[in-house]
Structures are given as structure tokens and as C-alpha cells.
Amino acid sequence: ACALPISGIMKAGNGNFWLMTNGYGVLIWNFPLDSVMQRITTQNGLNSDFIYNLKRDKDNNYWIGTGAGINKITFEHGTNNFKISRYGKAEGMFGMESNKTAVMQNDDGKIWFGTTKGLYIYNAADEQSIKYPSKIILQSVKLFSQAINSKIYNDSLSEWYNIPINLKLPYT
């Protein structure tokens, strides 16, 4: 048996289970042999060893959501050799940290990830990512910890939250 902190389990076939850990990467554990067959960590190319979600897609690639981005693991057919692709800030992700269990693949093959900054959709068909950032609602603007109510620095205030419209602040 495995004595590491396991945060999730996915059955992979042939008696193998993928074990998500908090700080030890992914373990491929074989139940009949009661043995860890392979360990995949940052030393192999993962963005982080803290694993928050795991998904096998229709093409048998493994998608791993971590605390520092997303990884795709592709195995060479019939071997234990694999390639790790990295998806993070450099690849256009705006939310680096995946949320626990927030991953799915829909019928057209797109893989959806919930991140701490919004929704990230990977389209495997054309290697494109679609990003939906979280919406920001500005509810107040203060100048020196005071609400801006006069028209000295702005034209007017918005109706709903009294946010200054056309705010222009002097600077030196």
C-alpha cells in the first residue's frame, strides 16, 4: 500500500491506478502487484507536484491540473515512455492554479479546466485554447481612503455603484 498523502484516484486499466498527491506528483500504482510502477513529478516536467485534478481524454492523453498550471502527458504507444506538455502563463493561461476536481471533456473533445482565475478550455482538435477570464465588478473607488463624490476629478458618477466616470487624477 502507499503511505503518501493521496488527494485523488483515477482507474487507468490493466490494474493501474493514477494517484494524485499533495507534494509528490502523480504515482502510477498497480493494484495486483501492490507496487508503484512509475512516479511523475516536476523532475520529469510537471508544473508542480501538488495535483488538483486528473483526466484521461478520448485519445488516452492524461491531463493534470496542478498548483502551477496544466500538464498533458502523452505516452508512446505500447511503452512507458512519455512526453509532458506544459500549459501555464507562457501559453496564455491567466489562472495558473487548477481547482480541485474542476476538469471535464465534452463530446466535441474540448477539455475544460476551472482555475482560480476563471475557465480555461483546451481544444485538442486544433491546438487552441479559449480563455474566459473572471468578470470584475468595481463597486467603489477611493482617493486617500475617501469616496470620490465631487466633480473635481470626474465628470459624473455611475448610477448603480457611484463609480467616477472619466476619472482624471493629477500627479507630480
Question: pLDDT exceeding 90 applies to what percent of the chain?
Answer: 33
What's the rounded Cα separation, in Å, for the pair 19 and 40? 10
- Statement: residue 17 has pLDDT above 90: yes
For residues 25 and 148, what is the distance between their CA atoms, to the nearest angstrom? Answer: 50
Please tell me the pTM assigned to this model. Answer: 0.70
Rounded Cα distance between 48 and 56, Å, is 18
- What is d(CA 104, CA 12) in angstroms, rounded to the nearest whole number? 16
Residue 143: predicted pLDDT: 76
Min mean pLDDT across 14-28, 49-63, 124-138 is at 124-138
Look-up: residue for cell 508542480?
48
**pLDDT, tens digit, 9 for 90 and up, residues 147-169:** 776 678 888 888 777 788 888 88
Per-residue model confidence (pLDDT) at position 172? 66
